[in-house]
Amino acid sequence: MKVLVPVKRVVDYNVKVRVKSDHTGVDIANVKMSMNPFDEIAVEEAVRLKEKGAAAEIVAVSCGVAQCQETLRTAMAIGADRGILVQSDAELQPLAVAKLLKALVDKEQPGLVVLGKQAIDDDANQTGQMLAALLDWPQATNASRVEVQGDRVQVTREVDGGLETLSLALPAVITTDLRLNEPRYVTLPNIMKAKKKPLDTVTPESLGVDVAPRLKTLKVAEPPSRAAGVIVPDVATLVDKLKNEAKVV
């Protein structure tokens, strides 16, 4: 079985994000970029499936600027066999990415697509669900356990009331949660090996996909800073402040 793993290049989670002065977006100039943590978990899970003999080949895919090749090389250092870059300088929104992935799925014919449940830059949590809808494939989101059993895959996901276990017919789409696994440390020998693995570059036009934005960002702003706490002398003062200042009672 072939496993397709989409990965996204985002601002590193350790970086303090700064909003541009004109409020048009986030400043990424001279900022460290890395693979989306949820996608890193997806790559790790695909590699574990291969180690168990459930998968034969892992194909990492990234959509975006030329620098996304670095993200694909990281995925190949973790264990992906080859990479595909859909290169575009346009703003790629979730629906456009889902359409690009569908075109690649039609071409590659994988038995399973595993991707992060969301990206830490836009927190949209949409691409996996949109891809499943476009493919008309079964889907399981927020997976905390994945087990391939013949022509089906059993997925355990965390819900408000506990754990929910789903059995999906392959091919299927799975989005990963944080507790699915802990990605392995990428060693220097594997980084060197990743440089020799094949990496193909295609364009949205060659895939026949229109990636024009359908949404417009009106303004990006930082959340307001929290005000300092106030010590009140008694309960009556507290109730008065909650009622007249905070207006929550």
pLDDT at 249 over 80: no
Residues facing residue 145 across a β-bridge? 156
Determine, yes or no, domain membership for 249. Answer: no
Query: What backbone phi and psi angles, to 5 degrees, belong to 88?
Result: -160, 140
Give the C-alpha separation, 109 to 122, whole Å. Answer: 29
Confidence band of 229 (pLDDT split at 50, 70, 90): confident
Report pLDDT for 247. Answer: 82
pTM of the entire predicted model? 0.84
Residue 63's CATH number: 3.40.50.620
Q: Within 10 A of 3 (CB to CB), how many other CB atoms are there?
A: 27
Number of domains forming the structure of the chain: 1
Determine, yes or no, domain membership for 17. Answer: yes
Predicted confidence (pLDDT) per residue in 25-49, tens digit: 888 888 898 999 999 999 999 999 9
pLDDT at 194 over 90: yes
pLDDT at 104 over 80: yes
The DSSP H or E segment spanning 96 is helix 94-108
| Residues spanned by the domain of 85 | 2-244
